[in-house]
Amino acid sequence: MTAYVIRGALVTAVGSAPLALSEDEISISSAQDIEASGLSRVQLAAIWNALPGTTRIVRFKDRKSAVRRLWAAFQELPLTSELASTGPRPGSKQAKVVDLLKRPEGATVAEVMKATGWLPHSVRGMFSGALKKKHRLTLISVQEQRGRVYRIAGEAMA
C-alpha cells in the first residue's frame, strides 16, 4: 500500500510506510490520516502549493475540502524508488564517504577531506545534510586518540 511522507511542505510517495521517521516527518496512508495529522489549514495550503501541477492558493475554504483535495493530489504523485532513498549513487564521493564510515575504524574529518578534496565544513555539512537527513543514516562519533572518529551506527566496531 502506498504511503506518503510529508516533510515540511514536501510530499513523497513511497511503496510502504517507512519504519522510522524523523521528528519533522509525518506518514500518511489515508485521507483520515491527513485529517488526524493536526496540520493547520495554512500548512495544508503550503503542502498544496508545493505539489506539482496545482494552482497556487492562499488558503483552503475549510479543512474537509483541504483533506479531500490533498488526498486526490497525493494519489497522483509518482512512486519514489526505494533504491533512491537507501544511499548515495555508486561511485560518487558520498558513496566513498559512506564506505569510509562503514569501516570498523571509522573515519575522521581529516580522512574524509583527503579522500574527497572537500573542506571541513563541507564534510560536516554532508554528514548532517546528505547522510543523516536525506539517506537517514545514523552516525555516531567518538573521541579517540587520533581525534573525533565518525562511524555509521550498526556497523562493526573495532
**Range(s) of the chain covered by CATH 1.10.10:** 87-152
Q: What is the CATH number of domain 87-152?
A: 1.10.10
Give the Cα separation of 52 and 158 in Å (integer): 47
Question: What pLDDT does 154 receive?
Answer: 66
Rounded to the nearest 5 percent, the helix, strand and coil shares of the chain are 40, 20, 40
Give the Cα separation of 77 and 53 in Å (integer): 10
Give the Cα separation of 157 and 38 in Å (integer): 41
* pLDDT band (50, 70, 90) for residue 122: very high
3-state SS assignment for residue 6: strand
Give the predicted TM-score (pTM) of the model.
0.52
- Note whether 120 and 109 are within 8 A (CB): yes
Full DSSP string of 67-89? HHHHHHHHTTSPBPPGGGGTSPP
Question: What pLDDT does 157 receive?
Answer: 45
